Structure 1
């Protein structure tokens, strides 16, 4: 059930973003676009409420509940950046604004380090959500599965950290077409 809720919320999240950007650029209704974009974080709240209610009604936590926490953490930490990325593409497509140049070299390494901070934030948010669920449910037998997500968060942060280190040591080269 929770897995279905996660999938529905993920689809709704992207529909809200696409609808908001479509309203902003295609329909030229920036206020409507902004209102639709505000729906994205509301969808995260809905998912958190669904997970909490499921556990408070006696459900036993599974990896799906942990995935919901991870989804919300990533959505909060990376959501603004994802929307900005899509917004730039919509502006280029429908308003003729030049696309941002792909990053390379030191600029790409700096972007990677900013992603490390975002990933760390996502891990902290996820840990706080899962820790909050564990405390609220107050039944270690039913929430034991959530503890298995914490090492996964550590792995995610370490992989992103290694990514940033690698691009700091060996900077990304500009593509031949971009170098001209």
Structure 2
């Protein structure tokens, strides 16, 4: 049941996102679109409640509960960012908004470092939820799967840290200016006069 709800929450997230943006830009109803976008957190609240009820009803704490905690952590850390990112792209494509910012060099490194901090927040939220589940289950139940998911969150943070380091070691360079004047074409060969 928890896996089905995780899938339903993910599908619901994208359905609400598309509906909210369609209302904002295609139907020209920005307030209604904003209200639809604000419904997103209710999905995660429903997932959290169902996961707690599942554990309360005696379900064995396993990978489904760990995945639910990680999904909730991701939504807390990246939900608003994802909505904003998609909003900027849709506004540019369908409403004449400014193009999305392209980042290079130090700006790209700073941006990726901020995303890494979001990943740390994601792992922290997931670890806290998992720890609450571990305490809730108590010493009588098997909580090894939940502890394993706490480790998964730490591995994700470490992998993202390595990605940030690549931006430091090999900075992303801006493409060369394509509007520069082209080299003058080779002079035509002169005809020989005989």
Query: Can you list the C-alpha shifts for 1:21-45, whole angstroms capped at 9, x where unaligned?
Result: 1111111111111111111111000
Unaligned regions of 5+ residues in structure 2, if any?
181-194
Unaligned regions of 5+ residues in structure 1, if any?
none
Aligned residues: 180
| Structure 1 CA distance for aligned equivalents of residues 91 and 177 of structure 2 | 22
Query: Can you list the C-alpha shifts for 1:20-78, whole angstroms capped at 9, x where unaligned?
Result: 11111111111111111111111000001111100100001111110110011011101
Query: Can you list the C-alpha shifts for 1:102-131, whole angstroms capped at 9, x where unaligned?
Result: 211111100111011100000000011111
Residue of structure 1 in register with 2:187 after alignment = none
Kindly indicate which of the two structures has a greater share of residues assigned to helix: 1
What TM-score, normalized to structure 2?
A: 0.87
Please show how residues 78-157 of structure 1 align to structure 2 within 5 Å: 78-157=78-157
Residue of structure 1 in register with 2:22 after alignment = 22
Please show how residues 165-176 of structure 1 align to structure 2 within 5 Å: 165-176=165-176
SS in structure 1 at match of 2:141: helix
Highest CA radius of gyration, 1 or 2?
Answer: 2
The answer to whether the 8 A contact 1:134-1:140 is kept is: no
| Structure 2 CA distance for aligned equivalents of residues 146 and 177 of structure 1 | 51
SS in structure 2 at match of 1:172: coil
Residue of structure 1 in register with 2:191 after alignment = none
| Structure 2 CA distance for aligned equivalents of residues 177 and 140 of structure 1 | 65
What TM-score, normalized to structure 1?
A: 0.93
2:6 pairs with 1:6: yes
2:65 pairs with 1:65: yes
The answer to whether the 8 A contact 2:61-2:137 is kept is: no
| Structure 1 CA distance for aligned equivalents of residues 134 and 120 of structure 2 | 21
The answer to whether the 8 A contact 1:59-1:142 is kept is: no
Output the aligned Cα RMSD.
1.7
Moved over 4 A (4+): 176-180
